[in-house]
Structure 1
Amino acid sequence: MLRNWITILLLAIPSLISFATQTLTGTISLIMVGDLGFLIIAIVGVSNIIMYNAFAIFSGIGHTVNYLVAQNYGSGDMRKGIQRTYLAMYMCITFAIFIAIVGFIGSDDILRWTGGSDQLVHQGSIYLEIRFYAMSFGILNFAFHGFLRGIGATKMSMVLSIITNIFILFFTYTLTFGEWGMPKLGLTGTALSVLIGESVQLLICAYVFFVILNKKFHTRDRAAMVFQWAEMKLLALESGKLGVQEFSLSLSMYIFTAFVARLGDQALAANEVSLNVMSFGFMPAFAFGATATILVGQNVGKGTPLVGRRAGTDTAILGTIFLVLLGTVELVYAEQIAHLYSSDPAVYKLAAELIMISAYLQIFDGLLNFYAGGLRGIGDTTFLLRVSFITSWFIFVPLAYLFIFIFHWGSMGAWISLYSFLMVMGISILVRFYRTDWTAVRLKEASHS
């Protein structure tokens, strides 16, 4: 068992650092702009939810690359893994153009649909537009990272994330406040820093894939670049299911945010602060979930799915330990942490209450991610799509509406609905993981019929 846990940690800790770097960057950026007022915090918060939705629609491509490449790596057929990665790149480029167009023509309307104030829409539209441009690069980067995690190169993925986020922090500080000879652009500068960071990351990812990894995996092999309909159909189907799964979650969060926005800009700001703090719980959840995908997928490729099942269990145990430790810190220091983001008592006191009720309930979000990662590793994407859709639209959104607008429980009611939803979904995915017939699990192959 000790050897298994060491293997898991060697894969998970770089992913944890990678996600932590992204989360910390978002946190520091939010703290930086927090001095500009609670309206700016609210704009960033609403835009983050919108970006999460835009990303979620196309994130299935990266998740699919991750688990298919993991299976191909385990089976020793990396030529197919490279071919599938190229097909994913073709899809990403197409969607990147679409995302940029949406940002150019629709940022005002999208912000208005959230229910934010006219002032929020007026000040936030340029910020959101630039964030859409950054997302165009982001979906390509996510697919590259999916490939790296699929081959177990989580350290390389970590290094890329750290470099990118250093760029983002540097330009957030200099462009937002006009430091070190840079122009003072305020919130627009904050958005530009993300665009610069994602652009730089894409250049580095391309160099790693086409130059560094070419020595071992022949990533510039022209035969792998050939378009094959059967593989594209498989990739599109799996990406579609995982993308819709993520979109169901993210769109329900968008509606949740729109509900909270109707409680006022201060409530919306407190909600964003709380979500940002709780994102520190998301990072071990995502990191260990990604590790479960790698280990399960590679063992499926090797023909040892039961070993993968055991690895998935061990990954969930270790991930839960991390969440318990983190939750304890959040519970004890909730108000001090919230105060870092805003000096407005109405914002940080409410945020502290939300953080405290979430401290240990976030374990259910962990279970969701740990075991969903395992199910992705075996390609059980249809179940993930179904459970995401059902719990998002028949539990989360109705409860949020009921608790906020019928029972008038305010922000507290909103967060009770959020964690009721995560609890049901997390337990459902856990049960599915252990009720699966692992002896029947096979490699995911394209249908040539």
Structure 2
Amino acid sequence: METHEGNIQYAENTKDKIKIILVLAMPAVIENIFQTILGFVDTYFVSKIGLAEVSAVGVTNAVLAIYFALFMAIGVAANVRIANFLGAKQPEKARHIAQQSIILAILFGIATGIITLFFAGPLLKLMGIEANVVEVGEIYFKIVAIPSIFMSLMFVLSAVLRGAGDTRAPMKVSILINIVHVALDYILIFGFWLVPEMGVAGAALATVFARVIGSLALLYYIKRSTILSFRKDYWKPDKQHLWELTTLGGPAAGERLVMRLGQIVYFGFVVTLGTNVFAAHQIAGNVEVFSYMIGYGFATAATILVGQQIGAGNIDVAKKFATLCTWLGISAMAILGALLFIFGSWAGSFFTDDQEVIKSIGTALKVSGIFQPFLALLLILTGAFQGANNTKFPMYLTAVGMWVVRTLLVYVLGIQLGWGLLGVWLAIGIDIAFRAVVLTLQFARGKWIAVKKDVESECHPQTTKETMSRCVNNY
């Protein structure tokens, strides 16, 4: 059973399908966990300086999440189209669109770097945080985000490899850069031998150095790939492919932007509860994010497998893979939810000695633990929808969830009713459950595959494999 570079042989029975899912998902889970450790280590080390610094890094990362949304959207589009083309046995189209996605990543990376250079302070002030937090945050923001090109390349190069069915190379790179990052974080934040203590600026520099190394390593793996290795003539910008990536990735970007903008608004509500409460919220988020990494790992497998099967015209097999990915993810995240519920306060104690903050962290993580199965549904089905070229519906759903459900309930439960951080995390959980249920209903009704209107008549799910493959490649 081969799973490297898109050459996946699919067995008929469920047991073999589960093996394929795990072969793809587990490296992606490990990769995501190690990438998350970049932020986790920053928060851990920075917490040793002070809670104001924790808040500064947290607020900055909330703004940076808007950048991540753009970069991840390019990655989603590249991942899906590469998987589609390989499933349809068109490797040169996959190679071409991979290189075009890298061009797009470079352009967006340069643009966001320029925005940071001139508007770092004003962007942070929009969050309504205290002056001392803005001052520290601006230092961190500029160092991390002016060289945004390396953020962008990390997202897109990893997505290109995953689209070709290679989830192991991004995992190896994540392990490498985390070893580098942990060492540099300690040295640059606290100082070592001839290196002076740099505090928050040191944390930012360590992150940048790690991303530079990661980008170079991912380029190395792509150049080694028989499917993705670069061709000089494919570096010429192709309007059709760039537009294709933009239109497919646009809704994915819209989804994440809507989510992040809503997050900024409700972050503003949390900030009004006080610096300590916001610090507790940020620390709880950094602990909980490991559960997201499991979900994103199975979502990655769902996107790859659904994308390849849709490209090959195997609609029933695509749905089977999506279903299996979802159930496996729910099982894993339910276990993690129980651990968050039981050990949340204990995890918080690693970041601070403030008992009030530790108690708040424990409360937030108990609520998070209860909603973990719904989070699995939401993340993995979103990945399946994207693999089926349907990036619009998740965007619309996220807009409703973030702005009508989450933000409103954060204000009502957290501020108006005075429930504080408990109300905030209940609002988050209710939003997650709402969107998970809606996606499940759409999936069950068969309304999860998107094709162009002008070919919908020949793209009915009951048509032949050849017809469906042609439809998807006309998308």
TM-score between both structures, scaled by the size of structure 2: 0.90
Residues in 2 aligned to 1:55 and 1:168: alpha-carbon distance in whole angstroms: 19
Match of 1:217 among 207, 214, 227: 227
1:72–1:298: 8 Å Cα contact kept in structure 2? yes
Residue 161 (str. 1) matches residue 174 (str. 2): yes
1:7-86 equivalences under 5 Å are 7-86=20-99
Match of 2:200 among 187, 206, 213: 187
The residue that corresponds to 1:301 in the other structure is 311
Match of 1:204 among 205, 217, 240: 217
Residues in 2 aligned to 1:181 and 1:339: alpha-carbon distance in whole angstroms: 32
Moved more, 284-293 or 393-402: 393-402
Deviation at 1:218, TM superposition (A): 5.9
The residue that corresponds to 1:114 in the other structure is 127
SS of 2:473's partner is coil
Residues in 2 aligned to 1:3 and 1:313: alpha-carbon distance in whole angstroms: 14
2:258–2:402: 8 Å Cα contact kept in structure 1? yes
SS of 2:32's partner is helix
Deviation at 1:134, TM superposition (A): 4.6
Deviation at 1:137, TM superposition (A): 1.0
Instruction: Tell me which amino acid in the other structure corresponds to 1:401.
Output: Y
Residues in 2 aligned to 1:279 and 1:123: alpha-carbon distance in whole angstroms: 24
Deviation at 1:244, TM superposition (A): 0.6
How many residue pairs are counted as aligned between the two chains?
Answer: 444
Over the aligned positions, Cα root-mean-square deviation in angstroms equals 1.6
Residues in 2 aligned to 1:164 and 1:429: alpha-carbon distance in whole angstroms: 35
Deviation at 1:247, TM superposition (A): 0.9
The percentage of aligned residue pairs carrying the same residue is 25
SS of 1:282's partner is helix
Instruction: Write the deviation string for residues 291-348 of structure 1: whole angstroms up to 9, x where unpaired.
Output: 1001101111222121011011001111111101111111111211110111111211
Instruction: Tell me which amino acid in the other structure corresponds to 2:46.
Output: V
Residues in 1 aligned to 2:267 and 2:144: alpha-carbon distance in whole angstroms: 18
Instruction: Tell me which amino acid in the other structure corresponds to 1:70.
Output: A
Deviation at 1:58, TM superposition (A): 3.3
2:71–2:156: 8 Å Cα contact kept in structure 1? no
Residue 126 (str. 1) matches residue 139 (str. 2): yes
Residues in 2 aligned to 1:170 and 1:200: alpha-carbon distance in whole angstroms: 14
Moved more, 345-354 or 20-29: 20-29
Residue 411 (str. 1) matches residue 411 (str. 2): no
Instruction: Tell me which amino acid in the other structure corresponds to 2:115.
Output: V
Deviation at 1:217, TM superposition (A): 2.1
The residue that corresponds to 1:398 in the other structure is 408
The residue that corresponds to 1:436 in the other structure is 446
Residue 378 (str. 1) matches residue 388 (str. 2): yes
Instruction: Tell me which amino acid in the other structure corresponds to 1:444.
Output: V
The residue that corresponds to 2:358 in the other structure is 348
2:40–2:286: 8 Å Cα contact kept in structure 1? yes
Deviation at 1:118, TM superposition (A): 0.8
Instruction: Tell me which amino acid in the other structure corresponds to 2:186.
Output: Y
Instruction: Write the deviation string for residues 108-167 of structure 1: whole angstroms up to 9, x where unpaired.
Output: 111111111111112221111112135331112211111111111101110011112222
Residues in 2 aligned to 1:181 and 1:330: alpha-carbon distance in whole angstroms: 41
Residues in 2 aligned to 1:85 and 1:225: alpha-carbon distance in whole angstroms: 10
1:404–1:410: 8 Å Cα contact kept in structure 2? yes
The residue that corresponds to 1:311 in the other structure is 321
SS of 2:46's partner is helix
The residue that corresponds to 2:262 in the other structure is 252
Instruction: Tell me which amino acid in the other structure corresponds to 1:80.
Output: K
SS of 2:303's partner is helix
Deviation at 1:251, TM superposition (A): 1.4
The residue that corresponds to 1:150 in the other structure is 163
Residues in 2 aligned to 1:273 and 1:225: alpha-carbon distance in whole angstroms: 42
Deviation at 1:85, TM superposition (A): 1.5
Instruction: Write the deviation string for residues 51-73 of structure 1: whole angstroms up to 9, x where unpaired.
Output: 11221133210011111111111
Residues in 2 aligned to 1:367 and 1:199: alpha-carbon distance in whole angstroms: 34
SS of 2:146's partner is helix
Change (3 A) 1:198 1:38: same
The residue that corresponds to 2:188 in the other structure is 175
Instruction: Tell me which amino acid in the other structure corresponds to 2:307.
Output: G
Gaps of 5+ in 2: 1-13, 448-460
Deviation at 1:290, TM superposition (A): 0.8
Residues in 2 aligned to 1:426 and 1:301: alpha-carbon distance in whole angstroms: 26
Residues in 1 aligned to 2:179 and 2:264: alpha-carbon distance in whole angstroms: 28
SS of 1:333's partner is helix
2:95–2:230: 8 Å Cα contact kept in structure 1? no
Deviation at 1:362, TM superposition (A): 2.3
Moved more, 176-185 or 414-423: 176-185
Identify the structure with the greater helix proportion. Answer: 1
Deviation at 1:275, TM superposition (A): 0.5
Instruction: Tell me which amino acid in the other structure corresponds to 1:148.
Output: L
Residues in 2 aligned to 1:446 and 1:250: alpha-carbon distance in whole angstroms: 32
Instruction: Tell me which amino acid in the other structure corresponds to 1:346.
Output: E
Residues in 1 aligned to 2:161 and 2:228: alpha-carbon distance in whole angstroms: 14
Instruction: Write the deviation string for residues 366-390 of structure 1: whole angstroms up to 9, x where unpaired.
Output: 1111101111111011212211122
Residue 6 (str. 1) matches residue 16 (str. 2): no
Residues in 2 aligned to 1:246 and 1:431: alpha-carbon distance in whole angstroms: 22
Deviation at 1:446, TM superposition (A): 5.2
Residues in 2 aligned to 1:218 and 1:116: alpha-carbon distance in whole angstroms: 45
Residues in 1 aligned to 2:178 and 2:472: alpha-carbon distance in whole angstroms: 34
Match of 2:281 among 253, 271, 282: 271
Deviation at 1:225, TM superposition (A): 3.1
Instruction: Write the deviation string for residues 225-270 of structure 1: whole angstroms up to 9, x where unpaired.
Output: 3433222221111111110111111111121211101111000000
SS of 2:329's partner is helix
Change (3 A) 1:115 1:7: same
Residues in 1 aligned to 2:108 and 2:244: alpha-carbon distance in whole angstroms: 18
1:404–1:413: 8 Å Cα contact kept in structure 2? yes
Match of 1:329 among 323, 339, 342: 339
Residues in 2 aligned to 1:379 and 1:180: alpha-carbon distance in whole angstroms: 53
SS of 1:444's partner is helix
Deviation at 1:188, TM superposition (A): 0.4
